[in-house]
Amino acid sequence: MERPARLEQLRRKALDLPASPGVYLMKDGPGEVLYVGKAKVLPRRVASYFQKTPATARLGLLVSLVEDFDFVLTATEKEALILENRLIKKFRPRFNIILRDDKTYPSLRLTAEDFPRLEVVRRPGRDGSTIFGPFPSSGALRDTVKSALRIFPLRQCRRPDVKNIGRPCLNHQLGRCLGPCRPEVTPAEYRELTEEIRLFFRGRGRELVNRLTAEMKAAAEGYDYETAARLRDRINNINKTLERQTVDRADSDMDVDVFGFHRRDGILGGALVLVRQGAVTGCLPLETAAGGGLDEEGAEELSLLTQYYGGGAPVPEEIIWPGRLDAETLETVTGWLAALKGRGVRIQEPRRGTEKLLDMARENARAALDERLNRLGRNQGVMVELKARLALDKVPRRLECFDLAHLSGASAVAGLVAMEDGEWRKEHYRRFRLKEAKGGDDYGGLREAVARRFSHGDWPEPDLLLIDGGRGQLAAAQAAFADLGRQPPPLAAIAKVRQEGDIDRVFRPGRKNPVDLKAGSAGL
């Protein structure tokens, strides 16, 4: 069917949808979900995609790939909001919102145990623990934790029954643990220490110093000089740490998230300034997919919000939102956030005292988007070169690569790594423990691993499958697809240099000589 006729058919199908809130799923010919969106009124929203002249080039790219769509009716817009978030996480459509690092910025958890410990975690969960963060830099966070544990000697062991231990560990002997396993250390004494660390990580270090100073003076007046000296050392260490903290203070002592957005070439970028107990603790970049942003005005920004918090990020007491939300949308989003948090959440328009934070969020959004678009441009150029040099039918978007390893012939494994749009997709990495092929049998190992990987029909199909090795390994991969009775994706094998000065050689099926990839080329 000609494309204009196909668009008209899809438009008519859209106009026949029930006039109800819901979620729609745009699909290509093979049935892959390209985009998930929500709508207050499904016919009006879905039909707007299939116009003769697309509103933007990105919309035109999506529509050129769409062959059909599905829909799910919901009773309310709030239900559509929640379902959209769930379906995006399930299908990971290429034209939908994504978040850098897969939304796994580290947080700090003070566990909900009788004798709590500090943990750096990626997904905090909701188990009653006290959560600080998230923090943009995991390295800086771990350094901060090391410094904090020298000041506040919490236990570092993971034993569930602290009191049922024969003797204190080495950390206690080095003065780095209070030693809750000792009979003389009471839960009340340990709780006092955990309260101090709560104040410290909530940005109330000065309040903590004042409290400890009063305790030090009281100990000295009572002639308890050993306790006074210990408190003096703790105060000095806290002051040194506070002197290194240069973040600005907000006008509130609450936990607040401040959103900022920036558009370039029709693509939205975002950033989130984190304010914890009045102290700015960092700024997280938020990203949209290069083809996203196809919903009603303002919906793309809201999708960033719903996917960020829906992915498990801590919900603050207040959110500063750079724009007006209509009453219905405001009620829907705040109700959804309150259900996640377990109590009320406020979404506020910018007010006096938040201008600097909003400027910070907007500037970080602009810088992150500029960097990402420049990176995507470079990556696209590389993929165009690979299409030409490897004689592929289309520009490869998804790449997968296999390699084998063993220990002196034992413990043979195959590793699979994946890349999309020039960026690693670590959540798609796989390791296969080889069951049939023995270590050293590269051909048999590749044949087994490739067959097992492509027996999973629900895994994404690569646009190029790269095998570590030469023509023999390439033939083994082809044999695996013959065993499965299916056509392989585009294949290539890369053989390492034989001697200094050579370049890696890339082989393609049906070709005796290596592909002409020049030394130093971006494609190679």
CB atoms inside a 10 Å sphere around CB 512: 6
pLDDT at position 440: 76
Q: What are phi and psi of 217, to 5 degrees?
A: -65, -40
Q: Tokens representing 490?
A: 């585009």
State the greatest distance between any 2 C-alpha atoms of the chain, in Å, as a whole number: 93
pLDDT at position 105: 67
- Any idea which residue has 């410290």 for tokens? 200
Return the amino acid letter for 315: V
Q: Tokens representing 152?
A: 């506040």
Q: Tokens representing 116?
A: 């709590």
Would you give the distance in Å from CA 428 to the centre of its chain? 13
- Any idea which residue has 């020298």 for tokens? 150
Q: What average pLDDT values come out for the chain (524 residues) when binned by 10 residues?
A: 80 93 90 89 91 71 89 86 83 70 67 87 75 70 76 83 79 84 86 83 73 87 86 75 46 79 84 78 74 59 84 85 86 89 89 84 88 82 89 91 88 92 86 84 92 87 93 94 94 83 86 84 84
Would you give the distance in Å from CA 299 to the centre of its chain? 21
**DSSP tally for the chain: helices H, then strands E:** 14, 18
pTM of the predicted model, to two decimals? Answer: 0.61
pLDDT at position 253: 64
CB atoms inside a 10 Å sphere around CB 461: 12
pLDDT at position 309: 86
Euclidean distance between CA atoms 180 and 168, whole angstroms: 9
Q: Tokens representing 160?
A: 């569930």
pLDDT at position 103: 46
pLDDT at position 459: 83
Q: Nearest to residue 128, comparing CAs of 145, 115, 111?
A: 111
